[in-house]
Each structure stands twice: as structure tokens, then as C-alpha cells.
Amino acid sequence: MILHSHHGAKYSLRYCAAGRAFNAFARAVLTIGLFLFAVAAEAGERPVVLALGDSLTAGYGLPPGKAFPAQLQAALGAHGVDVKVINGGVSGDTSAGGLARLDWLLNEQPDLVIVELGANDGLRGLDPAVTRDNLDRIIARIREAGARVLLTGMLAPPNLGADFGESFNAIYPDLAQRHGTAFYPFFLEGVAMDPALNQEDGIHPTAEGVAVIVGKLLPAVLDGLAEAVK
């Protein structure tokens, strides 16, 4: 996802309230999550998280073990949570690609699926209505399989115009509300447009950038897992 610097303040303000809300409840979520995982561990269960996404999930340009799924699993482990996190990211993938390979990935029987898709749809200027339909079907299919969904939002490239941006950016909160799923407004929150946290292409986070994403997303992941193992 390409985000130009002169739009940074607008994006930051738009999502700072959601970020503060996650931080405010982080400790409570961690406490509840750790308790439930302790119960699950006693029962001999190991929850499974599927990270379904594109290059931001796959770990494009990163050393082994530094992609989002690996860092997320390490962060969960540091909190005493023994979880298997599957890297279901494919570089260059669109929402259509994610939908096409979803059934195969669901054979892993995940308890929680983090959906991080749509950035490449936006970059290619694909019809937002098509992206919306693909994501709608992805969420429905995951729920039919009995897994929880954590939908992560994305933003349209500003150069495609206000109308496109308005239609694209509304996809994620609308679908989260429609399906009643957990929702994290912007996957790249705190990382987008920061040269210190992105690779030279200005699109893909460095290992340090991924660590920021994981840290901000962790409470939502724990919350989703806590619901899944009840």
C-alpha cells in the first residue's frame, strides 16, 4: 500500500482514536486471554491462528523468522501463550487470490483467522465493489468453518482520487459491522510513511516495522483467541 507523506496527518488522526481504545484495554485483554489460554493448555489444546494476507503478511524482503506471523507467534509466546501461527501470506495476492486458496488453508482448522487483504486491489485500482464482495465471501466462509475473524483494514492509495478512496476505505468497517467480526482499522498503523520502519520501496515494513504492527495488534489477537477458546 503506497501512502504519500502529505496525507499522513489525516490518516493518523483518523485512526488514533481506535489505537487509543486498543491500548486502553490491552492489560485487561491480556489478563483474560492468559487465563483462558491456561485453561486450554491444561486441556492439551494448542490454538491455531491463520494469517491470511499478501506480502505484508508473507514477509516480503525480510529475513527468515521476521515476517508478521513469526513475530506474532513469538510475541504471544512471550506472554505465555502457546499458539501456532500459520503464514498464509502470498506476495502480490489480491482479495480474489485469498478467496481462491482459502478452503485449502482452512484445512488447518484455525481458531482465529487474521484477514489482511485488499492492499493490492487498491494499488491496481480494482473495482471496490469486487473487493468488497471477495472479502465478504472470505469472512462468511471462515465463519462457516467455525473460526473467529479479525479483519484488518487498509487504505486506498490517495492518487486514485477521493471517490475511489471513499468507496474502498468504507469496505472494512462496513463488513466488520455486517458480520459482527473483530476489527482493527489499519494494519499499518504506526508504520506507514515512516522511513525508519519501512524498506527502501516505502511499501513494505522492515523487521522493526513488523514488530510495531505486532505490538499494536496483539491485544486484538488475544481478544479474538480468548473468544475462540471459550
Report, as residue numbers or ranges, the catalytic residues: 55, 201, 204
Which cell goes with 193? 510513511
Give which of 169, 108, 119, 117 is closest to 139, Cα–Cα.
117
Single-letter code of the amino acid located at 192: A
Rounded distance, CA 206 to CA 196, Å? Answer: 8
Distance of CA 132 to the CA centre of its chain: 16
> Which residue do the cell numbers 483494514 mark?
153
Rounded distance, CA 189 to CA 46, Å? Answer: 29
Rounded distance, CA 2 to CA 123, Å? Answer: 7
Give which of 109, 173, 105, 161 is closest to 135, Cα–Cα.
173
Q: For the CA atoms of the chain, what is the radius of gyration?
A: 17
Q: Which helix (H) or strand (E) holds 22?
A: helix 8-42
Give which of 35, 32, 224 is closest to 113, Cα–Cα.
224
Which cell goes with 151? 479483519
Q: Which residues pair with 42 in a beta bridge?
A: none
